[in-house]
Amino acid sequence: MGLTAVANGENQIDLTWDTNPESDIDYYQIYRDGSPYATSVSTIYSDTGLSPG
């Protein structure tokens, strides 16, 4: 699956990815540093409150 990450200012990154072709997907799990961090029911997620660097 293709993943795109775009910085949106200094404190936010917007993630988008290709739809999973499996029809039984309820949500997408987002990981940070190898650990589960968040979920999204769509192929878009905005991670906010970040620090530069």
Q: Where are the domains of the chain?
A: 3-48
pLDDT value of residue 41: 95
Q: Quick one: pLDDT at residue 44?
A: 96
d(CA 40, CA 28): 5
Per-residue pLDDT in tens (0 to 9) along the chain, 53 residues: 599 999 999 999 999 999 988 888 899 999 988 999 999 999 999 999 999 87
33 secondary structure, DSSP code: T
* Cβ-Cβ contacts under 8 Å for 7 (sequence gap 6 or more): 13, 14
Query: Residue 11's pLDDT is what?
Result: 95
pLDDT at position 1 is: 55
The Cα–Cα gap between 32 and 45 comes to 13
